[in-house]
Structure 1
Amino acid sequence: MVNQYPYGSPVPPPQPQDDGGKALRTTLLVAAIAGVVTVVAGMFIVLGSPEEYGLASDRDSLGLTAQPDGKAEQALWQADPDAPPPLPQIQPAAAMLPSTPVRLKIKRLGVDAPVRSVGLARDGTIQVPPADNPNLVGWYRNMSTPGEAGPAVLLGHKDTRTRSAVFSRLPELRNGDTIEVKRQDGVTAVFTVGGIEQADKKTFPTERVYGPQQNAQLHLITCGGAYNRNTGHYTDNVIVYATMTSSYRS
Protein backbone atom coordinates (compact mmCIF):
# COMPACT_ATOMS: atom_id res chain seq x y z
CA MET A 1 0.00 0.00 0.00
CA VAL A 2 1.33 3.44 -0.89
CA ASN A 3 1.93 5.75 2.05
CA GLN A 4 -0.29 8.83 1.54
CA TYR A 5 1.33 10.90 4.27
CA PRO A 6 4.50 13.01 4.01
CA TYR A 7 7.82 11.31 4.40
CA GLY A 8 8.75 10.81 8.07
CA SER A 9 5.17 11.41 9.44
CA PRO A 10 3.72 8.66 11.55
CA VAL A 11 0.87 6.66 10.03
CA PRO A 12 -2.29 7.12 12.18
CA PRO A 13 -3.71 3.96 13.62
CA PRO A 14 -6.95 2.58 12.03
CA GLN A 15 -10.20 3.88 13.57
CA PRO A 16 -12.28 1.37 15.45
CA GLN A 17 -15.59 0.41 13.78
CA ASP A 18 -18.76 1.70 15.52
CA ASP A 19 -21.48 -0.73 14.47
CA GLY A 20 -23.99 0.66 17.01
CA GLY A 21 -23.76 4.26 15.73
CA LYS A 22 -24.12 3.16 12.12
CA ALA A 23 -27.32 1.28 12.93
CA LEU A 24 -28.74 4.30 14.76
CA ARG A 25 -28.04 6.61 11.81
CA THR A 26 -29.68 4.17 9.42
CA THR A 27 -32.80 4.00 11.62
CA LEU A 28 -33.06 7.80 11.81
CA LEU A 29 -32.64 8.14 8.02
CA VAL A 30 -35.42 5.64 7.32
CA ALA A 31 -37.72 7.42 9.79
CA ALA A 32 -37.05 10.80 8.15
CA ILE A 33 -37.82 9.46 4.67
CA ALA A 34 -41.04 7.89 5.93
CA GLY A 35 -42.08 11.22 7.48
CA VAL A 36 -41.53 13.12 4.24
CA VAL A 37 -43.56 10.57 2.28
CA THR A 38 -46.41 10.87 4.79
CA VAL A 39 -46.49 14.70 4.58
CA VAL A 40 -46.45 14.70 0.75
CA ALA A 41 -49.27 12.15 0.60
CA GLY A 42 -51.32 14.24 3.01
CA MET A 43 -50.86 17.36 0.87
CA PHE A 44 -52.15 15.56 -2.23
CA ILE A 45 -55.23 14.40 -0.34
CA VAL A 46 -56.05 17.92 0.93
CA LEU A 47 -55.47 19.59 -2.43
CA GLY A 48 -57.66 17.01 -4.11
CA SER A 49 -60.66 17.93 -1.93
CA PRO A 50 -60.01 21.44 -0.53
CA GLU A 51 -63.65 22.08 0.37
CA GLU A 52 -63.54 19.17 2.86
CA TYR A 53 -60.69 20.81 4.73
CA GLY A 54 -61.94 24.41 4.75
CA LEU A 55 -59.43 25.55 2.14
CA ALA A 56 -61.78 26.23 -0.79
CA SER A 57 -61.66 29.87 -1.95
CA ASP A 58 -64.32 32.00 -3.65
CA ARG A 59 -61.55 33.21 -5.95
CA ASP A 60 -61.50 29.80 -7.63
CA SER A 61 -65.09 30.16 -8.86
CA LEU A 62 -65.20 33.94 -9.44
CA GLY A 63 -66.60 34.66 -12.90
CA LEU A 64 -64.84 37.03 -15.28
CA THR A 65 -67.74 39.48 -15.15
CA ALA A 66 -67.33 39.76 -11.40
CA GLN A 67 -63.70 40.80 -11.59
CA PRO A 68 -62.90 44.40 -10.61
CA ASP A 69 -63.48 46.82 -13.49
CA GLY A 70 -60.42 47.42 -15.61
CA LYS A 71 -58.46 44.41 -14.31
CA ALA A 72 -59.16 42.22 -17.32
CA GLU A 73 -59.29 43.41 -20.91
CA GLN A 74 -62.30 42.45 -22.96
CA ALA A 75 -61.50 40.39 -26.04
CA LEU A 76 -62.75 42.01 -29.24
CA TRP A 77 -65.70 40.23 -30.82
CA GLN A 78 -64.96 38.15 -33.92
CA ALA A 79 -67.22 36.50 -36.51
CA ASP A 80 -67.52 35.72 -40.20
CA PRO A 81 -68.19 38.83 -42.33
CA ASP A 82 -71.76 37.70 -43.11
CA ALA A 83 -72.73 36.98 -39.47
CA PRO A 84 -75.34 39.27 -37.87
CA PRO A 85 -74.21 42.01 -35.48
CA PRO A 86 -73.96 41.11 -31.77
CA LEU A 87 -76.88 42.15 -29.59
CA PRO A 88 -76.71 43.16 -25.92
CA GLN A 89 -78.38 40.94 -23.33
CA ILE A 90 -81.22 43.39 -22.85
CA GLN A 91 -84.62 43.96 -24.47
CA PRO A 92 -84.42 46.37 -27.45
CA ALA A 93 -86.64 49.46 -27.35
CA ALA A 94 -89.24 50.17 -30.00
CA ALA A 95 -87.91 52.15 -32.95
CA MET A 96 -88.82 55.83 -33.35
CA LEU A 97 -89.54 58.11 -36.29
CA PRO A 98 -86.46 59.49 -38.07
CA SER A 99 -84.69 62.59 -36.75
CA THR A 100 -81.24 63.96 -37.56
CA PRO A 101 -78.58 63.39 -34.85
CA VAL A 102 -76.95 66.49 -33.40
CA ARG A 103 -74.72 65.26 -30.55
CA LEU A 104 -73.01 62.07 -29.34
CA LYS A 105 -72.15 61.31 -25.72
CA ILE A 106 -70.17 58.33 -24.40
CA LYS A 107 -69.76 58.65 -20.64
CA ARG A 108 -67.10 55.93 -20.24
CA LEU A 109 -64.80 57.59 -22.76
CA GLY A 110 -65.53 61.21 -21.86
CA VAL A 111 -66.87 61.86 -25.38
CA ASP A 112 -69.24 64.80 -25.92
CA ALA A 113 -69.11 65.65 -29.59
CA PRO A 114 -71.20 67.39 -32.26
CA VAL A 115 -72.48 65.33 -35.19
CA ARG A 116 -72.45 66.44 -38.83
CA SER A 117 -74.10 64.78 -41.83
CA VAL A 118 -71.74 63.14 -44.37
CA GLY A 119 -72.34 61.41 -47.69
CA LEU A 120 -70.24 59.60 -50.29
CA ALA A 121 -66.91 60.77 -51.66
CA ARG A 122 -66.13 60.70 -55.38
CA ASP A 123 -64.41 57.34 -55.09
CA GLY A 124 -67.55 55.77 -53.60
CA THR A 125 -66.31 55.62 -50.01
CA ILE A 126 -68.09 57.31 -47.13
CA GLN A 127 -66.84 60.79 -46.34
CA VAL A 128 -65.13 61.36 -43.01
CA PRO A 129 -65.19 64.50 -40.88
CA PRO A 130 -62.44 67.03 -41.68
CA ALA A 131 -59.17 66.31 -39.91
CA ASP A 132 -58.91 69.89 -38.64
CA ASN A 133 -61.89 69.23 -36.34
CA PRO A 134 -60.83 66.09 -34.40
CA ASN A 135 -63.86 66.18 -32.08
CA LEU A 136 -66.42 66.09 -34.90
CA VAL A 137 -68.45 62.92 -35.61
CA GLY A 138 -69.93 62.16 -39.02
CA TRP A 139 -73.37 60.57 -39.51
CA TYR A 140 -73.81 58.74 -42.82
CA ARG A 141 -77.04 60.28 -44.07
CA ASN A 142 -77.83 57.49 -46.57
CA MET A 143 -78.60 55.14 -43.66
CA SER A 144 -81.06 55.28 -40.75
CA THR A 145 -81.05 58.08 -38.20
CA PRO A 146 -80.20 57.02 -34.62
CA GLY A 147 -83.36 55.61 -33.03
CA GLU A 148 -84.95 54.74 -36.37
CA ALA A 149 -85.27 51.08 -37.36
CA GLY A 150 -82.08 49.85 -39.01
CA PRO A 151 -78.40 50.69 -38.52
CA ALA A 152 -77.35 54.28 -37.94
CA VAL A 153 -73.67 54.68 -38.82
CA LEU A 154 -71.44 57.26 -37.14
CA LEU A 155 -67.78 57.75 -38.08
CA GLY A 156 -64.93 59.52 -36.29
CA HIS A 157 -61.16 59.82 -36.49
CA LYS A 158 -58.83 57.82 -34.27
CA ASP A 159 -56.17 60.54 -34.41
CA THR A 160 -54.65 63.28 -36.54
CA ARG A 161 -51.05 64.13 -37.35
CA THR A 162 -50.72 66.05 -34.12
CA ARG A 163 -53.16 64.64 -31.55
CA SER A 164 -55.72 61.99 -30.68
CA ALA A 165 -59.28 62.39 -31.98
CA VAL A 166 -62.86 61.74 -30.87
CA PHE A 167 -62.82 57.94 -31.33
CA SER A 168 -59.25 57.25 -30.17
CA ARG A 169 -60.47 55.28 -27.13
CA LEU A 170 -63.29 53.39 -28.85
CA PRO A 171 -61.76 49.92 -28.13
CA GLU A 172 -62.04 50.68 -24.40
CA LEU A 173 -65.82 50.34 -24.52
CA ARG A 174 -67.29 47.27 -22.83
CA ASN A 175 -70.37 45.19 -23.52
CA GLY A 176 -73.23 46.78 -21.60
CA ASP A 177 -71.87 50.35 -21.79
CA THR A 178 -74.32 52.98 -22.97
CA ILE A 179 -74.04 55.53 -25.77
CA GLU A 180 -76.38 58.52 -26.08
CA VAL A 181 -77.31 60.32 -29.27
CA LYS A 182 -79.27 63.56 -29.01
CA ARG A 183 -81.58 64.11 -31.95
CA GLN A 184 -82.99 67.22 -33.61
CA ASP A 185 -86.48 66.43 -32.28
CA GLY A 186 -85.25 66.80 -28.68
CA VAL A 187 -85.23 63.08 -27.95
CA THR A 188 -82.05 61.35 -26.79
CA ALA A 189 -81.73 57.74 -27.94
CA VAL A 190 -79.83 55.47 -25.53
CA PHE A 191 -77.93 52.53 -27.03
CA THR A 192 -76.38 49.57 -25.21
CA VAL A 193 -73.13 48.09 -26.54
CA GLY A 194 -73.36 44.45 -27.63
CA GLY A 195 -69.90 43.95 -29.11
CA ILE A 196 -66.71 45.61 -30.36
CA GLU A 197 -64.98 44.24 -33.45
CA GLN A 198 -61.62 44.90 -35.08
CA ALA A 199 -61.86 43.99 -38.76
CA ASP A 200 -59.28 44.01 -41.52
CA LYS A 201 -60.22 46.66 -44.10
CA LYS A 202 -59.63 44.09 -46.83
CA THR A 203 -62.42 41.91 -45.40
CA PHE A 204 -64.69 44.63 -44.04
CA PRO A 205 -68.03 43.14 -42.81
CA THR A 206 -70.19 45.27 -45.13
CA GLU A 207 -73.43 43.35 -44.60
CA ARG A 208 -73.08 43.34 -40.82
CA VAL A 209 -72.45 47.08 -40.66
CA TYR A 210 -74.78 48.39 -43.37
CA GLY A 211 -77.31 45.58 -43.84
CA PRO A 212 -80.99 46.01 -42.88
CA GLN A 213 -81.99 45.39 -39.25
CA GLN A 214 -85.38 45.24 -37.54
CA ASN A 215 -84.24 47.04 -34.39
CA ALA A 216 -82.78 50.52 -34.04
CA GLN A 217 -79.02 50.02 -34.01
CA LEU A 218 -75.99 52.25 -33.80
CA HIS A 219 -72.67 51.37 -35.41
CA LEU A 220 -69.59 53.47 -34.60
CA ILE A 221 -66.59 53.16 -36.92
CA THR A 222 -63.01 54.35 -36.62
CA CYS A 223 -59.53 53.20 -37.65
CA GLY A 224 -57.51 50.52 -35.86
CA GLY A 225 -54.67 48.07 -36.24
CA ALA A 226 -51.23 49.09 -37.48
CA TYR A 227 -50.48 52.33 -39.31
CA ASN A 228 -49.14 51.81 -42.84
CA ARG A 229 -46.78 54.67 -43.65
CA ASN A 230 -46.74 53.76 -47.33
CA THR A 231 -50.49 54.18 -47.77
CA GLY A 232 -51.05 56.71 -44.99
CA HIS A 233 -53.87 54.60 -43.54
CA TYR A 234 -54.48 52.12 -40.73
CA THR A 235 -54.88 48.46 -41.69
CA ASP A 236 -58.09 47.78 -39.74
CA ASN A 237 -61.37 49.27 -38.58
CA VAL A 238 -62.76 49.21 -35.06
CA ILE A 239 -66.54 48.82 -35.09
CA VAL A 240 -68.86 49.18 -32.11
CA TYR A 241 -72.28 47.51 -32.34
CA ALA A 242 -75.03 48.90 -30.10
CA THR A 243 -78.82 48.54 -29.92
CA MET A 244 -81.31 51.16 -28.73
CA THR A 245 -82.66 50.11 -25.34
CA SER A 246 -84.34 53.33 -24.14
CA SER A 247 -84.88 57.02 -24.89
CA TYR A 248 -85.77 60.21 -23.07
CA ARG A 249 -86.68 63.78 -23.90
CA SER A 250 -84.32 66.45 -22.61
Structure 2
Amino acid sequence: MWSHDPYSGGPAPAPPPDRGGAALRTVLILAAVTGVAAVAAGLLIVLQSPGEYGLRSTRDTLNLQAQPNQNGQPEQALFQAPADVPPPLPQITPASPMLPSTPTRIVIKKLGIDAPIKSVGLAKDGTIEVPPADNVNLVGWYRNMSTPGEAGPAVLLGHKDTRARNGVFARLKEIKNRDVIEVERQDQTTAVFTVGGVEQADKKAFPTQRVYGPRDNAQLHLITCGGDYDRTTGHYTDNIIIYATMTGSHRS
Protein backbone atom coordinates (compact mmCIF):
# COMPACT_ATOMS: atom_id res chain seq x y z
CA MET A 1 0.00 0.00 0.00
CA TRP A 2 1.22 3.50 -0.88
CA SER A 3 0.52 6.93 0.51
CA HIS A 4 1.35 10.45 -0.69
CA ASP A 5 4.46 12.15 0.78
CA PRO A 6 3.72 15.90 0.72
CA TYR A 7 7.43 16.75 1.10
CA SER A 8 8.93 14.71 -1.80
CA GLY A 9 6.19 15.09 -4.35
CA GLY A 10 6.43 11.31 -5.10
CA PRO A 11 5.04 8.15 -3.72
CA ALA A 12 6.40 6.89 -0.41
CA PRO A 13 6.07 3.48 1.19
CA ALA A 14 3.34 3.19 3.88
CA PRO A 15 4.70 2.73 7.42
CA PRO A 16 4.76 -0.88 8.64
CA PRO A 17 2.15 -2.01 11.21
CA ASP A 18 3.05 -0.70 14.70
CA ARG A 19 3.07 -4.08 16.46
CA GLY A 20 5.44 -2.92 19.22
CA GLY A 21 3.25 0.13 20.00
CA ALA A 22 0.10 -1.98 20.29
CA ALA A 23 1.81 -4.35 22.67
CA LEU A 24 3.03 -1.44 24.78
CA ARG A 25 -0.48 0.03 24.96
CA THR A 26 -1.85 -3.33 26.09
CA VAL A 27 0.75 -3.55 28.86
CA LEU A 28 -0.01 0.01 30.02
CA ILE A 29 -3.78 -0.62 30.12
CA LEU A 30 -3.30 -3.78 32.18
CA ALA A 31 -0.98 -1.93 34.54
CA ALA A 32 -3.53 0.88 34.95
CA VAL A 33 -6.35 -1.56 35.74
CA THR A 34 -4.14 -3.40 38.24
CA GLY A 35 -3.15 -0.09 39.86
CA VAL A 36 -6.78 1.02 40.27
CA ALA A 37 -7.64 -2.27 41.94
CA ALA A 38 -4.67 -1.97 44.29
CA VAL A 39 -5.61 1.59 45.25
CA ALA A 40 -9.22 0.57 45.92
CA ALA A 41 -8.08 -2.30 48.13
CA GLY A 42 -5.74 0.01 50.01
CA LEU A 43 -8.48 2.59 50.59
CA LEU A 44 -10.77 -0.12 51.94
CA ILE A 45 -8.17 -1.18 54.49
CA VAL A 46 -7.54 2.42 55.56
CA LEU A 47 -11.22 3.23 55.96
CA GLN A 48 -11.74 0.15 58.08
CA SER A 49 -8.96 1.19 60.47
CA PRO A 50 -8.70 5.01 60.22
CA GLY A 51 -6.91 5.44 63.52
CA GLU A 52 -4.00 3.23 62.46
CA TYR A 53 -3.31 5.35 59.40
CA GLY A 54 -3.60 8.81 60.85
CA LEU A 55 -6.84 9.50 59.00
CA ARG A 56 -9.30 9.42 61.86
CA SER A 57 -12.31 11.48 60.84
CA THR A 58 -13.13 14.62 62.79
CA ARG A 59 -16.60 13.18 63.15
CA ASP A 60 -15.21 10.45 65.38
CA THR A 61 -14.20 13.05 67.95
CA LEU A 62 -17.38 15.15 67.86
CA ASN A 63 -19.84 15.00 70.72
CA LEU A 64 -22.75 13.98 68.51
CA GLN A 65 -26.21 14.31 70.01
CA ALA A 66 -27.71 11.28 68.29
CA GLN A 67 -26.25 8.28 66.51
CA PRO A 68 -28.15 5.70 64.41
CA ASN A 69 -29.03 2.50 66.23
CA GLN A 70 -28.99 -0.99 64.72
CA ASN A 71 -32.31 -0.34 63.00
CA GLY A 72 -31.03 2.81 61.35
CA GLN A 73 -33.14 5.05 63.56
CA PRO A 74 -31.49 7.91 65.51
CA GLU A 75 -30.95 7.29 69.20
CA GLN A 76 -32.42 9.71 71.69
CA ALA A 77 -30.18 12.71 72.30
CA LEU A 78 -28.91 13.08 75.87
CA PHE A 79 -30.03 16.19 77.70
CA GLN A 80 -27.23 18.78 77.96
CA ALA A 81 -27.45 22.18 79.67
CA PRO A 82 -25.68 24.36 82.25
CA ALA A 83 -26.13 23.11 85.81
CA ASP A 84 -28.54 25.90 86.76
CA VAL A 85 -31.03 25.08 83.98
CA PRO A 86 -34.23 23.38 85.29
CA PRO A 87 -34.86 19.69 84.59
CA PRO A 88 -36.36 18.79 81.19
CA LEU A 89 -40.12 18.22 81.27
CA PRO A 90 -42.09 15.68 79.21
CA GLN A 91 -44.53 16.95 76.59
CA ILE A 92 -47.50 16.13 78.78
CA THR A 93 -49.37 18.09 81.45
CA PRO A 94 -48.03 17.42 84.98
CA ALA A 95 -50.44 16.02 87.57
CA SER A 96 -51.20 17.83 90.80
CA PRO A 97 -48.83 16.80 93.62
CA MET A 98 -50.01 14.42 96.33
CA LEU A 99 -49.49 14.41 100.08
CA PRO A 100 -46.18 12.93 101.32
CA SER A 101 -45.91 9.16 101.63
CA THR A 102 -42.83 6.97 101.92
CA PRO A 103 -42.01 5.03 98.71
CA THR A 104 -41.93 1.25 98.92
CA ARG A 105 -41.31 -0.03 95.40
CA ILE A 106 -40.28 1.13 91.92
CA VAL A 107 -41.49 -0.47 88.69
CA ILE A 108 -40.11 0.26 85.20
CA LYS A 109 -41.77 -2.35 83.01
CA LYS A 110 -39.76 -1.45 79.90
CA LEU A 111 -36.48 -2.32 81.65
CA GLY A 112 -37.82 -5.25 83.68
CA ILE A 113 -37.26 -3.38 86.96
CA ASP A 114 -39.45 -4.26 89.95
CA ALA A 115 -37.47 -3.42 93.07
CA PRO A 116 -38.00 -2.56 96.74
CA ILE A 117 -37.01 0.89 98.02
CA LYS A 118 -35.05 1.63 101.19
CA SER A 119 -34.68 4.99 102.92
CA VAL A 120 -31.10 6.38 102.90
CA GLY A 121 -29.52 9.51 104.39
CA LEU A 122 -26.09 11.10 104.38
CA ALA A 123 -22.82 9.23 104.91
CA LYS A 124 -20.10 10.54 107.25
CA ASP A 125 -18.30 12.24 104.36
CA GLY A 126 -21.42 14.24 103.47
CA THR A 127 -22.36 12.23 100.39
CA ILE A 128 -25.65 10.40 100.00
CA GLU A 129 -25.62 6.82 101.23
CA VAL A 130 -26.01 4.13 98.60
CA PRO A 131 -27.86 0.84 99.02
CA PRO A 132 -25.68 -2.03 100.28
CA ALA A 133 -23.73 -3.73 97.49
CA ASP A 134 -24.81 -7.19 98.67
CA ASN A 135 -28.39 -6.43 97.63
CA VAL A 136 -28.10 -5.32 93.99
CA ASN A 137 -31.88 -5.15 93.48
CA LEU A 138 -32.41 -2.56 96.23
CA VAL A 139 -33.08 1.11 95.42
CA GLY A 140 -32.34 3.94 97.86
CA TRP A 141 -34.68 6.89 98.44
CA TYR A 142 -32.91 10.01 99.78
CA ARG A 143 -35.16 10.83 102.73
CA ASN A 144 -34.01 14.45 103.07
CA MET A 145 -35.86 15.28 99.84
CA SER A 146 -39.49 14.96 98.75
CA THR A 147 -41.31 11.65 98.67
CA PRO A 148 -42.27 10.48 95.16
CA GLY A 149 -45.54 12.20 94.25
CA GLU A 150 -45.01 15.09 96.66
CA ALA A 151 -44.17 18.54 95.25
CA GLY A 152 -40.44 18.84 94.60
CA PRO A 153 -37.77 16.38 93.46
CA ALA A 154 -37.76 12.84 94.85
CA VAL A 155 -34.32 11.27 94.41
CA LEU A 156 -33.80 7.52 94.03
CA LEU A 157 -30.39 5.85 93.69
CA GLY A 158 -29.38 2.38 92.53
CA HIS A 159 -26.25 0.46 91.59
CA LYS A 160 -25.21 -0.01 87.97
CA ASP A 161 -23.25 -3.12 88.89
CA THR A 162 -20.94 -4.70 91.45
CA ARG A 163 -17.80 -6.77 91.03
CA ALA A 164 -19.99 -9.87 90.77
CA ARG A 165 -23.06 -8.89 88.73
CA ASN A 166 -25.33 -6.19 87.32
CA GLY A 167 -27.24 -3.90 89.63
CA VAL A 168 -30.88 -2.81 89.60
CA PHE A 169 -30.14 0.24 87.41
CA ALA A 170 -27.75 -1.51 84.98
CA ARG A 171 -30.00 -0.69 82.00
CA LEU A 172 -31.15 2.73 83.18
CA LYS A 173 -29.54 4.59 80.25
CA GLU A 174 -31.80 2.66 77.86
CA ILE A 175 -34.85 4.57 79.07
CA LYS A 176 -36.41 7.01 76.61
CA ASN A 177 -38.40 10.22 76.80
CA ARG A 178 -42.10 9.55 77.51
CA ASP A 179 -41.35 6.16 79.09
CA VAL A 180 -43.29 5.49 82.28
CA ILE A 181 -41.96 4.90 85.79
CA GLU A 182 -44.24 3.84 88.67
CA VAL A 183 -43.50 4.25 92.36
CA GLU A 184 -45.66 2.47 94.93
CA ARG A 185 -46.16 4.28 98.25
CA GLN A 186 -47.12 3.38 101.81
CA ASP A 187 -50.50 5.10 101.48
CA GLN A 188 -51.52 2.45 98.92
CA THR A 189 -51.22 4.83 95.98
CA THR A 190 -48.92 4.58 92.97
CA ALA A 191 -47.37 7.73 91.53
CA VAL A 192 -46.94 7.56 87.75
CA PHE A 193 -44.05 9.51 86.22
CA THR A 194 -43.25 10.30 82.58
CA VAL A 195 -39.60 10.66 81.53
CA GLY A 196 -38.64 14.08 80.18
CA GLY A 197 -34.90 13.67 79.69
CA VAL A 198 -31.75 11.60 80.28
CA GLU A 199 -28.45 13.20 81.24
CA GLN A 200 -24.93 11.81 81.51
CA ALA A 201 -22.93 14.12 83.76
CA ASP A 202 -19.29 14.07 84.83
CA LYS A 203 -19.18 13.44 88.58
CA LYS A 204 -16.76 16.36 88.88
CA ALA A 205 -19.42 18.67 87.40
CA PHE A 206 -22.56 17.18 88.92
CA PRO A 207 -25.68 19.34 88.23
CA THR A 208 -26.59 19.75 91.91
CA GLN A 209 -29.12 22.53 91.44
CA ARG A 210 -30.97 20.70 88.66
CA VAL A 211 -31.17 17.44 90.63
CA TYR A 212 -31.85 18.74 94.16
CA GLY A 213 -33.22 22.24 93.62
CA PRO A 214 -36.83 23.07 94.65
CA ARG A 215 -39.61 22.48 92.10
CA ASP A 216 -43.33 23.26 92.12
CA ASN A 217 -44.44 20.01 90.50
CA ALA A 218 -43.75 16.45 91.62
CA GLN A 219 -40.58 15.12 90.04
CA LEU A 220 -38.63 11.89 90.19
CA HIS A 221 -34.87 11.86 89.63
CA LEU A 222 -33.12 8.49 89.27
CA ILE A 223 -29.34 8.35 89.63
CA THR A 224 -26.81 5.62 88.86
CA CYS A 225 -23.23 5.38 87.61
CA GLY A 226 -22.09 5.66 84.00
CA GLY A 227 -19.18 6.56 81.76
CA ASP A 228 -15.82 4.81 82.07
CA TYR A 229 -14.73 2.70 85.01
CA ASP A 230 -11.62 4.11 86.71
CA ARG A 231 -9.67 1.19 88.13
CA THR A 232 -7.50 3.55 90.17
CA THR A 233 -10.40 4.99 92.15
CA GLY A 234 -12.72 2.01 91.84
CA HIS A 235 -15.56 4.25 90.59
CA TYR A 236 -17.23 5.24 87.33
CA THR A 237 -16.44 8.69 85.97
CA ASP A 238 -20.02 9.82 85.29
CA ASN A 239 -23.58 9.68 86.56
CA ILE A 240 -26.66 8.77 84.56
CA ILE A 241 -29.60 10.93 85.67
CA ILE A 242 -33.22 10.36 84.66
CA TYR A 243 -35.62 13.30 84.95
CA ALA A 244 -39.32 12.40 85.19
CA THR A 245 -42.44 14.35 86.13
CA MET A 246 -45.56 12.95 87.80
CA THR A 247 -48.35 12.78 85.22
CA GLY A 248 -50.85 10.58 87.04
CA SER A 249 -51.59 8.31 89.98
CA HIS A 250 -53.82 5.39 90.93
CA ARG A 251 -54.62 3.13 93.85
CA SER A 252 -52.09 0.31 94.32
TM-score range (shorter-chain normalised) is 0.7 to 0.9
Structure 2 counterpart SS, 1:208? helix
What is the deviation of 1:181?
0.1
Residue 126 of structure 1: which of 111, 122, 128 is its match? Answer: 128
Identity of aligned residues (%): 74
Residue 72 of structure 1: which of 57, 71, 74 is its match? Answer: 74
What is the deviation of 1:73?
1.8
What is the deviation of 1:76?
1.2
Structure 1 counterpart SS, 2:184? strand
Map residues 204-215 of structure 1 onto 2, 5 A cutoff: 204-215=206-217
Partner of 1:175: 177
The residue type equivalent to 2:139 in the other structure is: V
When the two structures are superposed, what TM-score results if normalisation uses the length of structure 1?
0.73
Q: Deviations over 1:28-72 (max 9, x none)?
A: xxxxxxxxxxxxxxxxxxxxxxxxxxxxxxxxxxxx9xx998943
Partner of 1:244: 246
Partner of 1:193: 195
What is the deviation of 1:12?
9.3
Rounded to whole Å, the distance in 1 between the matches of 2:194 and 2:208 is 21
Rounded to whole Å, the distance in 1 between the matches of 2:169 and 2:93 is 27
Map residues 12-91 of structure 1 onto 2, 5 A cutoff: 71-91=73-93
Structure 2 counterpart SS, 1:171? helix
- Greater Cα shift, 71-80 or 201-210: 71-80
Rounded to whole Å, the distance in 1 between the matches of 2:89 and 2:119 is 26
The residue type equivalent to 2:199 in the other structure is: E
When the two structures are superposed, what TM-score results if normalisation uses the length of structure 2?
0.72
Structure 1 counterpart SS, 2:239? strand
Residue 203 of structure 1: which of 202, 205, 213 is its match? Answer: 205
- Runs (5+) with no aligned partner, structure 1: 1-10, 16-63
Structure 2 counterpart SS, 1:142? coil
Evaluate the alpha carbon distance shift between residue 168 and residue 97 of structure 1 in structure 2; reply closer, same or farther with a 3 A threshold: same
- Runs (5+) with no aligned partner, structure 2: 1-12, 18-65
What is the deviation of 1:14?
5.8
Rounded to whole Å, the distance in 2 between the matches of 1:235 and 1:13 is 82
Partner of 1:140: 142
What is the deviation of 1:247?
0.2
CA RMSD after TM alignment: 2.0
Please state if 1:231 is matched with 2:233: yes
Rounded to whole Å, the distance in 1 between the matches of 2:79 and 2:171 is 16
The residue type equivalent to 2:133 in the other structure is: A
Matched length: 190
